[in-house]
């Protein structure tokens, strides 16, 4: 199937939101990224300058982004699918067009980027010798956390990165729907957003600037898979 990145631009009213709310959600989705940059520069310590911290943070974001796109390329090579790279959208500046030979190949290609980000985030969290307060690591984790959440919100509410029409579609989660079905895409979007949120909570607990109550084990956030698909988030609050 052919994926086109530029043919279809839905009207905000088509997704059930007035234009003002539609644009407000798009603006709010960038707030966590801005906060991440601000917190990084505010948490600089030692001899590292603010400029160096910002550059390391940016490099971390760029690395996480490259890993996402690299996963698409690797999945395409694995399935024997040729990709044509082109300009993408606001949260994925580079896009691609593929001609998948079957639904399984298309599903693997479109799911691979966000799944790889989740795996990369988990590796960072599990790697005890890795400095979680290094600005490069922070940059990687911010993108690994924020991008899946933005993608899921876009799929459900915004409709900018994920779009579809009779003859074309764009976006990773929209691609999952195209090569499977809507329930599968909803479960996928919910799962990657929940995993990102859970990883974000765990990463915050490792930060030197995090409040003491967050660093304790008194309040625990947990996650467990559901038999019918998706995940269950739990919060343990002793009282």
194-236: pLDDT as tens digits: 999 999 999 999 998 877 776 666 555 555 666 665 556 665 5
13 pLDDT tier (thresholds 50, 70, 90): very low
- The tokens for 116 are 């790889």
pLDDT band at 186; cut points 50, 70, 90: very high
Residue with token string 């599903």: 107
Tell me the per-residue pLDDT of 149-180, one tens digit each, with 9 for 90 and over: 999 998 898 877 777 877 777 889 999 998 99
List, for residues 80-128, the tens digit of each pLDDT value: 888 887 776 655 677 788 888 889 999 999 999 999 999 999 999 999 8
**In this model, does residue 25 exceed pLDDT 80?**
no
Residue spans per domain, the chain:
12-214
Which pLDDT score is estimated for 159?
72
* 90 HSE (CA, 13 A, CB side): 14
What tokens were used for 208?
Answer: 């030197």
- Which of 34-48, 51-65, 80-94, 125-139 bottoms out in mean pLDDT, i.e. has the lowest? 34-48
Of 17-31, 48-62, 112-126, 165-179, which gets the smallest average pLDDT? 17-31
Higher pLDDT, 61 or 8: 61
Rounded to whole angstroms, how far apart are CA atoms 186 and 151?
Answer: 12
Question: How large is the average pLDDT for residues 26-35?
Answer: 50
Q: Is 200 helix (H, G, I), strand (E, B) or coil?
A: helix
Non-local CB neighbours of 7 within 8 Å, separated by 6+ positions: 165, 167, 168
Question: Can you list the positions of beta strands (E) in the chain?
Answer: 83-87, 94-98, 163-164, 169-170, 220-225, 231-236
Query: How many whole angstroms separate alpha carbon 27 and alpha carbon 85?
Result: 27
CA distance 57 to 166: 40
The predicted structure's pLDDT at residue 24 = 44
φ/ψ (deg, to 5) at 86:
-155, 180
């Amino acid at each position: 199937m052919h994926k086109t990145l530029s043919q279809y631009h839905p009207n905000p009213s088509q997704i059930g939101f007035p234009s003002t709310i539609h644009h407000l959600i798009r603006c709010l989705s960038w707030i966590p990224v801005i906060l991440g940059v601000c917190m990084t520069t505010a948490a600089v310590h030692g001899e590292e300058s603010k400029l160096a911290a910002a550059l390391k943070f940016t490099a971390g974001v760029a690395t996480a982004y490259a890993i996402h796109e690299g996963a698409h390329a690797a999945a395409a090579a694995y399935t024997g699918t040729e990709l044509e790279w082109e300009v993408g959208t606001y949260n994925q500046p580079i896009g691609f067009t593929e001609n998948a030979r079957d639904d399984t190949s298309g599903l693997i290609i479109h799911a691979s980027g966000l799944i790889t980000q989740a795996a990369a985030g988990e590796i960072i969290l599990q790697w005890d010798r890795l400095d979680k307060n290094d600005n490069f690591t922070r940059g990687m984790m911010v993108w690994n956390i924020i991008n899946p959440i933005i993608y899921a919100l876009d799929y459900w509410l915004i409709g900018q990165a994920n779009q579809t029409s009779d003859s074309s579609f764009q976006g990773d989660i929209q691609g999952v729907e195209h090569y499977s079905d809507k329930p599968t895409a909803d479960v996928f979007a919910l799962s990657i957003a929940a995993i990102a949120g859970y990883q974000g909570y765990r990463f915050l607990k490792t930060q030197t600037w995090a409040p003491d109550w967050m660093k304790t084990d008194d309040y625990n956030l947990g996650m467990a898979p559901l038999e019918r698909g998706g995940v269950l988030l739990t919060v343990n609050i002793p009282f």
